[in-house]
Structures are given as structure tokens and as C-alpha cells.
Chains A and B, each alone.
Chain A
Amino acid sequence: MVPIGVPVEHVIALAVALFVIGVLGVLLRKSVIVMLMSVELMLNAANLLFVVFAERWGVARGQTISFFVMAVAAAEAAVGLAILIGVFRTHNTTDVDELRDLLEQS
């Protein structure tokens, strides 16, 4: 078996693009649930990096790690959505702009 003939920098560019889209999603979207999805995108970008570097180095470790990351992502999503439900119960919204009880008082 040989590694895929795609230059590694193109894969890295894809990962970086996914990561940047994820960051922008967190920074720009007002819906908390979409922000959570964006975080998932960021984690996937990291996973992609792990997988491509694993292939280039010819070691399995990167793949193993991406498996772990998926498990962590699942746990994070579970807790995050639970907290979201908790917030929805007290605030009746998931708009991040309306979660502003805690701030620097003047």
C-alpha cells in the first residue's frame, strides 16, 4: 500500500479550512446549538490532521487518537446538549445574546 497521491499541504489546507469555519461558526452564530455543531467541526478538523499525519508517518497512532476524539466528542455533545436543555428551562431561549446575566457590572 502506498499513501494517497494528494499533497499533504492540500489535506492540511482542508483541515485548516474546516477549523476556521468551525471557529467562525462559534464566533458568529447566535444559536447555541449551531455553536456546538461548529465545535464538532473543529474537532473533526483535528481528527483529519491526525489521520493524514498518521498516514504520512505510517503509524497507527493518529487513527487511534481520532477514535478517542470521537468518543470525547460524543461525551461532550451529551453534556453540552444537557446544559443547553438546562439553560432552555431557565431562560426559555438558546440565543447566546440573551444569556447575559453575568457580566462586568458598571
Chain B
Amino acid sequence: MDVFVFYAAAAITLLGASMVLVLANPLRAAMALILSLGALSVIYVLLHAQFVAVMQLLVYAGAIIVLFVFVIMLLNLEDPKTRRSWPWVAGVFTIIGGLSYGLARGLMVDDNQFITSGPPHVNALSKDYGTVEQVGREIMTTFVLPFEMLSVLLLVAVVGAVVISKKRL
């Protein structure tokens, strides 16, 4: 069941991503991006990353894509210049498919490497693996410094965005 859902979600992810690459209208591309990222969050759930999955929906669908859509509407953007023909698109996706599979094979990583001589927890994830608590604890202990510095990053982003884009200064 899990496996089936995974491949379905993967297919939707790729479909969404492909549509970002293909669709001429930026607004539609943004919608395709939501589709892709949403499907990705399903995959995160399957990979025992519930917290990340929720954040994926909140941050991407809730914040980033909205921002994109907002800017597209604000500037009334269109992309008339993108020309494409279906054979061309088909060619590109054949290349992408072949390339991706080839690259992934080329990395020569498979589960045996994790199972046979790999790390200790491979076949028994801890009970609280992927919960808010576990991730939260790591954020507030090991990664507390970068976490706090994220506030500086967001401050820079806010100040920078205002300084550059505010209409009247």
C-alpha cells in the first residue's frame, strides 16, 4: 500500500514539476508547483517525516506560492515568449528521464549498502522518529545556533525586500 502510494505521489510530483517547465502562463506554473510540492509532502509522510510534511504544506503552499501568485497578479505577468512544440517537450522529458535514472544508477547507492553493513538503526526507526518533538529537540539543542541565526536571515530578507521593492522611500 505504502509503496503504491509512493509511486503515485512520485508520479504526481514529476507531473507537476514538468508542468512548471512547460506551462506558458506563470500563474498556471505556480499552480503546477503547488501540485508538485503537495505530492512531495505525501512522500515525506511515507518517509516518516510527518513534521516536515506539515511544514512543507504550510511554508510552501501557505507562504511561498502565495507570495509568487501575489507577485504574478501584482505585475500582471505573462510569458508570451515561451514557444514549444510537443515533440520538443517529449524530447526534453526523455532526456530528463534517462538522465535522472542514469545519474541515480551512477551513484551506485542501493539499500543493501544501508542494510548489510550500514548504520545501526536501519531496520528499526525509533518510536518518535519524525515527530515534532524529535525534530524540535534537535532544533533547540544541536542546531540552536543556526536556528537563532535564521532570525537574522529572515530579518535581512524583510529589510531587504522592503528597501528594494517598497514603492515610495
Contact = CB atoms under 8 A, between A and B. Distances in A.
A–B contact, 8 Å CB criterion (strictly below): yes
Contacts of A20: 96, 99-100, 103
Contact of A7 (B13, B64, B110, B150): B110
The interface size bin for chain B is 35 or more
Contact of A60 (B13, B71, B135, B153): B135
Contacts, number: 253
Interface residues on A, range: 35 or more
A75 B157 contact: yes
A41 B75 contact: no
Is chain A's binding surface mostly helix, strand, loop or mixed? helix
B160 A79 contact: yes
A99 interface: no
A6 B63 CA distance: 31
Interface in A70-95: 70-79, 81-86, 88, 94-95
Nearest to B17: A21
Interface string A7-23: 11111111011101110
A34 B43 CA distance: 24
Nearest to B26: A33
A28 B79 CA distance: 12
Contact of B21 (A29, A58, A77): A29
